[in-house]
Amino acid sequence: MSTVPNEFERTDIGEIQIAPEVIEVIAGLATVEVKGVAGMSAGFGGGIAELLGRKNLSKGVKVQVGQREASVEVSVIIEYGHRLPEVASEIQRNIKRSIEMMTGLNVIEVNVHIHDVHFKSAEKTEETDPGQRVK
């Protein structure tokens, strides 16, 4: 499947081709930039989720790319305490903006799948004095 509009495939000095994996990386970067995103998830059957490690930015991202359009699906883990619909909407806007700006493709759909909520590790709130005895 071609990833760039026909007008842009052939220029005066050659061809331009954008691999679907590039679109996935752009979408992954746009996703982890959003406040409240703890990480990406491979989905229900994809194994262990990965918190913001940035090793594989296309993990949890699926794209379908046509001549002039693209659709994106991302699977994410959200940090506890953030409003899920607001984070998901911001993910959609950021992905659409990033892909359209960088590639010229029209993003027709961005589906966000929230697979988990990440809780920060429990911090010890009470500090006990070792010299203090409990009676």
Q: Show the tokens assigned to 20.
A: 């679907």
**What one-letter code names the amino acid at 27?**
A
Domains and CATH numbers, the chain: 17-118 (3.30.70.1350)
The answer to whether the beta carbons of residues 73 and 111 sit under 8 Å apart is: yes
Cα separation, 79 vs 105, in Å, equals 30
Cα separation, 101 vs 53, in Å, equals 25
Res 48: pLDDT = 47
> The whole model's pTM is what?
0.76
Q: How does pLDDT run across 53-76, given as a tens digit for each residue?
A: 445 778 899 999 987 899 999 999
Residue spans of the chain under pLDDT 70 = 1-9, 43-55, 122-135
